[in-house]
Amino acid sequence: MTATAPARDTIAAIATAPGAGGVGIVRLSGANARAIAETMSGRALQPRHAHYVRFTDAAGETLDDGIALYFAAPASYTGEDVAELQAHGGPALLEELLARACALGARRARPGEFSERAFLEGRLDLAQAEAVADLIAAADARAARASRRALDGEFSRRVEALAGDLLAVRVHVEAAIDFADEPIDTLGGGALRQRLGAAATALDELLAAAERGRRLRDGLHAVIVGPPNAGKSSLLNALAGSERAIVTDIAGTTRDLLHETIKLDGVELTLVDTAGLRDGGDAIEREGMRRARGELDRADLAIVVLDARDPHGGLAAVADAIAPVPARLFVYNKIDLLESDYDSPGPADVGGEDRVFVSAHTGAGLDALHARLRALAQGDAGVAMEGAFTARARHVDALVRAGEELAEARAQLDHEMLDLAAEALRQAHDALGEITGRVRADDLLGHIFSSFCIGK
């Protein structure tokens, strides 16, 4: 239970989208949901039957004709008694129905409170509850299907299977500690290491899948970086298909961050144009460079724009700033100004550089750049998103922490420090439990469910 609301009072909300529509729904959940719905409809309601009814106010005046449905606990969305009142979808009418329900003892639900109750009643785990919000917010069919897979429990099952494997190993480790002098049957060190190695492989695969799911949900955060006058703003305009940034031949024109979002095969890519990195500059330009470095600290991808006429000189100016970024794509711009031929356009893994050759001015090479960005947005050098499930940044963070603790457990096991290995396994197990809500803090629930819409 959360500390933010009474445990089992009856809640009500308009469950359909704001605005007028053909049909609107007022949803109730709690111990008095059935009684309130029966009072408003004037008839007894049977579970899982659609009843054609007349909704009335306190004076018996007709509000509307519609459908009333009742779902008895625990076979309902929330796991509590649930009633749904379906009427014509006028906002004023639905507000009247909601006010009548509240006058009869319900209270207005908080955002996400129906899904929160479903979680607290064990109808959904936390990752599935979050998938409900993701399904509602899905911007395209691919994101909707991925959210549906998460709602169906595909992500949760993999997390819990991995957690079960870690718990099984931890049991053997702690048994070896507690009963070191007893003739009990525990796995030997070699078998434990083998099982932890398999768990580490499974965790790496799950982390990669979750990262793809996070990209599908949140998009890829890509920072356009490079020395001054390399054509960063021109490239942003070319990718955005509009004149979003001011372009001049004067170095240092861009001072502030400029954001633009594009879609590549259903994956959002947030492009951030930044100030050119160099030594010196006035106070405003130095502040722009500070912000650029700060943006790189949280970037998924650095699009490093270099003047094709002097790429190595430009790279020296940005090398330190891009070092922490997980992925880097080097864009050799201004190929239209080269006096001789350049390498074949398109991505090439040469000297550790993922490179694309373009001219933001003429458009040459932009198709190859789009293809490479599409592959990076999808993850794993273009692995398809089919079969993906949505995940959130907190899920990825929990998996990373679980991986770190698992690595620590393996290291301690190698040194036969069983007590430290057991503690690391406990921490890894708890990190996985945060994903599904098996291990949780009440403030986490409040943060998650407050982002839901009213009535869900």
Q: Is 249 annotated as a binding residue?
A: yes
Q: Is 276 annotated as a binding residue?
A: yes
336 class by beta-carbon count within 10 Å (0-12 exposed, 13-18 middle, 19+ buried): middle
Q: Is 230 annotated as a binding residue?
A: yes
- DSSP letters for 221-274: EEEEE-STTSSHHHHHHHHHTS--S---SSTT---S-EEEEEEETTEEEEEEE-
Give the C-alpha separation, 213 to 215, whole Å.
5
Who's near 53: CB < 8 A, 6+ residues apart? 41, 42, 43, 65, 66, 67, 68
- DSSP letters for 378-402: HSTTT---TT-----HHHHHHHHHH
Q: Is 32 annotated as a binding residue?
A: no
Percent composition of the chain: helix, strand, coil (DSSP 3-state, to 5): 45, 20, 35
Q: Is 252 annotated as a binding residue?
A: yes
Q: Is 263 annotated as a binding residue?
A: no
Q: Is 251 annotated as a binding residue?
A: yes
**How big is the chain, counted in residues?**
456
Q: Is 27 annotated as a binding residue?
A: yes
Q: Is 248 annotated as a binding residue?
A: yes
Q: Which amino acid is at 308?
A: A
Residue of 151, 264, 159, 268 whose CA lies nearest to 210: 159
Q: Is 364 annotated as a binding residue?
A: no
Q: Is 123 annotated as a binding residue?
A: yes
Q: Is 202 annotated as a binding residue?
A: no
What DSSP character marks residue 336?
G
Q: Is 84 annotated as a binding residue?
A: yes
Q: Is 163 annotated as a binding residue?
A: no
Q: Is 39 annotated as a binding residue?
A: no
Q: Is 112 annotated as a binding residue?
A: no
Q: Is 2 annotated as a binding residue?
A: no
Strand order in the sheet with 327-333: 258-264, 267-273, 220-225, 301-307, 327-333, 353-357, 348-350
Binding site for Mg(2+), by residue number, is 233, 254
Binding residues for K(+): 229, 248, 250, 253
Pick out the residues of the known binding site: 27, 84, 123, 229-234, 248-254, 273-276, 456
Give the residue ranges of the annotated binding site for (6S)-5-formyl-5,6,7,8-tetrahydrofolate. Answer: 27, 84, 123, 456
